[in-house]
Amino acid sequence: MYLVRIGASAERMGELIDALLSLARVSRADITREAVDLTRIARVVMAQLRTTDPTRVAEFLVADGLRTTGDAQLLQALLENLLGNAWKFTSKCESARIELGYGPNENGSPAFYVRDNGAGFEMEYADKLFAPFQRLHSADDFPGTGIGLATVRRIVQRYGGRIWAEGARGQGATFSFTLAEARQEETE
């Protein structure tokens, strides 16, 4: 019994160390500038998520033509974290819906967004979402390290952008972000 607990604790510690190392790499990595197809990256990430639970009913909606200029690896890490969170927090929905799009935000300027119909959160705690190890749901309900959204925030900050979240408990969440140094490219 004790060996099982020790083993589980060691595994959890290993996950936390890996997550912290990933966060540190994101903070120091050189940013390359290239054309990035966010639609393609999102579809790859979503296909990978489906393999983790092939029987799960989930609708993925990705806007066509989401392109920007930026670092493909950092932007992939950003989408992996945001879409992975949406996948995780919709796991208890009978019919999950996860969407990636681009459109006007609350002040009318354009922003990318990831929206889901999952567990959501109380808006009074929205600021805590992006701090390392701050969790609004128990690890028993939704496992994780508490580093994913901190990683996303660091990536967005490296671009001089902004990220924010809106949600309601039991009604899903929307994570919107801008990338000041990156830009949404017009598609033809």
- Residue 70 structure tokens: 């930026």
- Domains of the chain, each with CATH number or no CATH: 2-178 (3.30.565.10)
Q: What is the pLDDT of residues 37-71, one digit of tens each?
A: 999 999 999 999 999 999 988 999 999 999 988 88
Describe the strand order of the beta sheet including 96-104 as a list of residue ranges. Answer: 58-62, 96-104, 110-116, 173-178, 162-167
- Residue 99's pLDDT band (boundaries 50, 70, 90)? very high
Check residue 33 and give its pLDDT: 78
Predicted local confidence at residue 116, as pLDDT? 94
Task: Note whether 131 and 182 are within 8 A (CB).
Answer: no
How far apart are the C-alpha atoms of 163 and 109, rounded to whole Å? 13
User: Which of 40, 34, 83, 41 minimizes the C-alpha distance to 182?
Assistant: 34
For residue range 4-14, what is the model confidence (pLDDT) as tens digits? 666 655 655 55
Q: 164: pLDDT confidence band, cut at 50, 70 and 90?
A: very high
Is the pTM of the predicted complex or chain greater than 0.95?
no
When pLDDT is averaged across residues 121-146 and rounded to a whole number, the result is 66
CB atoms within 10 A of CB 50: 14
Contact 113, 177 (CB under 8 A): yes
Residue 182: pLDDT band (50, 70, 90) is very low
* Closest CA relative to residue 60, chosen from 117, 3, 139: 117
**Segment 87-98, tens digit of pLDDT:** 988 888 889 999
